[in-house]
Structure formats: structure tokens, C-alpha cells
Amino acid sequence: MRRIRYIFRRVKFTYIKMTLLTLFCCLFFVDGYIPFEKTGNNFFHIFLNGTQVGTVGEEESVENLLIAARKNVASQSQNLLFMEVEMSIEGEEVLWGYVDDEKEIIANMEKVLESSVQKTMRRAYTLKVNEYMVNLASRDDVLALLQAALDKYSGEGKFAVELMHDEHREFDVLTTQIISVEEKKEQEEKASNNYKDAGIQNFFEDLGETEIETEEKGFSDFEYGLLSMDFAEEVEVVEAYLPVNQLTDLETAINEVIKEQEMPAEYEVVSGDTLSEISIKVDIPMEKIVEMNSDKLKDVNSPIRVGDKLLITIPEPELSVMRVEQNYVEEVYDADIIYIDVDEWYTTKTEVIQQPSSGFRKAVVDVTYLNDKVVSREVVKEEVVKEAVAKIVKRGTKIPPTFIKPVSGGRASSGFGPRNAPTKGASTYHKGQDWAVSKGTAVYASCGGTVAKAGWGSGYGYVVYINHEGGRQTRYAHLSKVLVKVGQKVKQGEKIALSGNTGISSGPHLHFELLIDGKHVNPMKHIK
């Protein structure tokens, strides 16, 4: 009996050992388990945006699983989706382990990606004009904005804006095309009709139209009003996907684009200009022009010279509109000035040899506007009732000599014109410009020429006179030392003397005069 129990225990023990061995062996053949090999990491946990989504036995397969999950999520929407994706993989070496089914891993990834979709992103349109940009919610908003810019200058609704692909751009960029509403309707009607009679009938119709165009048109034959419209700047429209908080509502965008802004500009002074005339031309008060050009102008009486460039601001909208209007006018008109160039004269000299007389005419005029400003005017047809007489002007072509300040530094102590005599014997009408400088300061030729006088000049003390082209002469007085001789040729900027306090003088300074054709003029108006 004891022996039987012993044998039974041995058999039971052997059975248990065989069962465990069988189960152990099965681990290496059951689907989902991987065998243990000493090859480094062979078991990989996948984390997507911090969430574990599965485990695989090969790291290379993870990227393909993510691509499949993203495609599945993207296919659920017609819009472009923006998803936050941050994936990490943690590997380990194991004896055995269970890997997840690929379909299950993809499903887990989809759930994480769906929760990370940036729902604030939406399809939008970015409109760009020069440096100005605005983001709008739809294509219709873009068209409404552009149409509002047109309608500001055309209450008739004759023209409409269309968006079209810019053929000159590599990317999918839209630009604008403006077409008359009537022309658009005609094109649509023509496209919808089937012109089967395109033979001899159309030939005679075209011939008749050609004959009409060659006939002289009367004033009643013109269609007056708005002829054409276009934007002055290039308009670019690009589709984009943007956060909602970056979009501008249509009403605000229209106000930004249409409202006139202060745009910086430059005005170049031309012959005959005065500050008051410039103020009228640019429609800006003289005081404001002085304020904007404080480095050049002290007050409204400050001198200006031909070629000076003044900073001005012009009110303009972000998007400017060019338009052409055709009008019938009965007007007084002036003939163009006829100029006769005289090469021996300086450009500062002119002479009117025939006074003008205005004429009167009936005319058809095409006027081009930039916003509300007239930029050109073309007479298409005219009937002169009274012929205008042109103004004829002789003008010089030679550039006159230039003048520079004859001394470096110094304080302007006495200007040209009436004054209180600074010392006994001094003139009460000052014929030049004084600069207070220390004795011995270098004096330079204001312009190149020939020395006409060099020496003592009575009340002027020691002086130097220099003759220049065009009947001009400069004089330098109250000198302490003269460094040139009569008849000597000097260049502009050449050292000719030293300043002093000789003659009738109240202190060390340089007295400078400019004469044109023997008459004293204010030298400060000629010094560059």
C-alpha cells in the first residue's frame, strides 16, 4: 500500500512537470507572443500625445500605423484639418510579451487624433494690397470688400469685380478682373446662343459696324458717363486655413480698405512755386507743411528753391481706384505755352513775347481719376467757337552758376534788408549777409570766377570782389588779410582771404554780398 502511494506521487509529479513544460513551449508558438532573443529592444510601447495606444514588436511599423490613422481622420472632413501630433516610442527587451493587433492600434490612434484636431482653424482668404493684408472668412466676403471699394467711386453699379487665377504666378494666387455689368450680360447671352448663321450674314453685319465706326461722330453719338474702372494696385487673394480669431469681419475690413489714410509723399518744388501755391496744389495748410518740414522751413515766409523736396501727406485709401469718365463740356480753354529756347540765356531768365488769350470750345473729354483726384484729361472731340492764342515765352537753357556759403560755421548776425545801424557810420539798409566769426577765419570763394578787386575798400575795410558768369559778382568785406590778386582766376571753395574787423565794423565778422546785373540781391536765396 505504501509503495502504491509512492508510485502515485511520482506519477503526479511527473504529470505536473510535463504540463508546465508543454505550456512553456506553447508560449513560443501562440499568435501574439514573441520569442525571447538577446538582440536588444524587442518590445515597443507606442505613446501618442502622452496616451499609450498600443504595443508592437517592430519599431519600423509604427510610422505606417500613424499615417493610416491620420488618413482615416482626415477623410471624415472636407476641410483641411490641423492635428497636434507628438509621438514617442519606449522599447524594452523581454522574454515574451503580448503585442496588440494593428487595427486596434490604429483605432486607438484615431481617437487621440480626433481629440487633438484644432477646431478653431477654418478655411479663409487672405487679401493683400501692397503692405496691407486682411483675412476674410469666405470668397463672397472678398468679392463684397472689393466691390465696396469700387462702389465708393461709382454709385451706378455699372462695374463688377471678378476673381481669376493669376497666370503669371507659380502658386494658386487669385487676382482681380473688373468688367462692366452690361458687357458681362452680353457675353453670357452670346455664349448661350447658338450662332448657326455665322456665314455671309455676319460678314455684312461686321462690315456695317466697321462703316459706322469710321464715320465722324457727333456730340449726341457719345455715351457719356463712366467708361472704365480698375484698381490702381495689384490685388492678391490666397486661400488659407487660419484660427477664427485672426479673421476680420466684413464691415471692419471694408472700413479699413475704403477709409482714407495719411500716406507720406514728396513734392518737388518747380519754377514759379510759392509755399501758398503748393498749399493749394496739395490741399494742405501752409502751417502743416512747415511743421512736416521743420528741418528746411522755419515759418510760412521761409524761402524755397527749385528742386527742393518737401515732405507732404496725401489722404489715400489702402486700395485705390482708377476710373475714366467721358463728359460733354462747354469751356474756356487756354492753348499750350510755346517756348523758344535761347542757349545764351540762363534758365533763370525768361521773356514773354506774346501774351495769351483764352478761347472757347465745345468738347467731349475723357477724364482719368485716381480716387477723387484728376490725373489726366484727354479731349476726344472738340468744336472750337473761339480760337485760343498761345502764350509765347523765350527762356534760357544755360544752368546758372551756383553759390556756397563763403565761411565755415559762424553765427548769422545780420541779414539782407532794412535794419538798425549796428554802429556809427554803418548803413541802415544792409546789402548783404553777415556771419559773426573770430578774426582769422578762412574765407572761401562762393563761386568760381575772376578777382575784380583785392585791397582796401573804405568803409568795407579790406575787401575781395569776384566776377562770375551771367553778370554776377560776389563781395567779401571787413577782412583781416587778402590772399588773392586782381585778375587771378579762382575756383569755387578756394581760400581767398581771412576774416577780420576792418573798416566800419562792430566786431569780427564776414560781410558777404551778391550782385546780379549790378543789383544787390539777398545772397541767402542763392546759396546752396
Encode pLDDT of 351-381 as tens digits: 999 999 999 999 999 999 998 888 899 999 9
Question: What backbone torsions phi and psi does residue 6 show, to the nearest 5 degrees?
Answer: -65, -45
Give buried/exposed letters for 493-524 (b at 16+ CB in 10 A, else e): eeebbbbbebbbbbebbbbbbbbbeeebbbbb
Which residues, 6+ apart, have CB-to-CB distance to 452 below 8 Å?
Answer: 465, 466, 467, 473, 486
Quote the Cα angle for 480-485-486, to 5°.
Answer: 120
Which residues, 6+ apart, have CB-to-CB distance to 476 below 8 Å?
Answer: 406, 443, 463, 464, 465, 466, 496, 497, 510, 511, 512
Contact 413, 401 (CB under 8 A): no
Kindly state the percentage of the chain with pLDDT values over 70. 83
Give the per-residue pLDDT at 176.
Answer: 87
Rounded to an integer, the average pLDDT of 58-68 is 89
CA distance 389 to 377: 20
By CB atoms closer than 10 A (0-12, 13-18, 19+), residue 466 is buried
Q: Would you say residue 173 has pLDDT above 50?
A: yes
CA distance 288 to 275: 11
Q: Would you say residue 53 has pLDDT above 60?
A: yes
Encode pLDDT of 281-302 as tens digits: 887 888 888 888 888 888 888 8
Residue linked to cell 570766377: 449
Angle between helices 250-258 and 139-151 (to 10 degrees): 40
Angle between helices 102-116 and 61-74 (to 10 degrees): 50
Contact 469, 401 (CB under 8 A): yes
Q: Would you say residue 63 has pLDDT above 50?
A: yes
CA distance 257 to 236: 14
pTM over 0.75: no
Using pLDDT thresholds of 50, 70 and 90, give the confidence band for residue 177.
confident
Q: Would you say residue 524 has pLDDT above 60?
A: yes
- The CA distances from residue 448 to 452, 465, 480, 495, in Å, are 12, 12, 22, 11
By CB atoms closer than 10 A (0-12, 13-18, 19+), residue 387 is exposed
**Which residue type is seen at 347?**
T
Rounded to an integer, the average pLDDT of 448-458 is 93
Encode pLDDT of 148-163 as tens digits: 998 888 766 788 899 8
* Grid cell locating 122: 477654418
**Rounded to a whole number, what is the distance in angstroms from the first to the last CA of the chain?**
138
Using pLDDT thresholds of 50, 70 and 90, give the confidence band for residue 442.
very high
- Coil, helix or strand for 234? coil
* Grid cell locating 464: 575781395
- The CA distances from residue 338 to 346, 351, 354, in Å, are 18, 12, 9
Give the per-residue pLDDT at 493.
Answer: 92
Q: Would you say residue 389 has pLDDT above 90?
A: yes
Encode pLDDT of 179-194 as tens digits: 887 777 777 677 666 5
E strand spans, 181-291: 225-231, 235-243, 261-268
Q: Would you say residue 172 has pLDDT above 60?
A: yes
E strand spans, 298-415: 309-316, 321-333, 338-346, 350-354, 359-370, 373-386, 392-398, 411-414
Encode pLDDT of 505-516 as tens digits: 888 999 999 999
- The CA distances from residue 172 to 167, 235, 447, 486, 515, in Å, are 9, 14, 62, 77, 68
- Count of beta carbons in the 10 Å neighbourhood of residue 421: 13
- Coil, helix or strand for 528? coil
Kindly state the percentage of the chain with pLDDT values over 90. 38
Contact 125, 141 (CB under 8 A): yes
Strands 472-482 and 235-243: unpaired
Which residues, 6+ apart, have CB-to-CB distance to 376 below 8 Å?
Answer: 367, 368
- Hey, what domains does the chain have and what are their CATH numbers? 43-116 (no CATH), 123-187+221-254 (no CATH), 263-316 (3.10.350.10), 321-398 (2.20.230), 411-525 (2.70.70.10)
CA distance 288 to 284: 7
Cα-Cα-Cα-Cα dihedral of 71, 73, 76, 81, to 10°?
-90
Of 43-52, 70-79, 215-224, 450-459, the least confident? 70-79
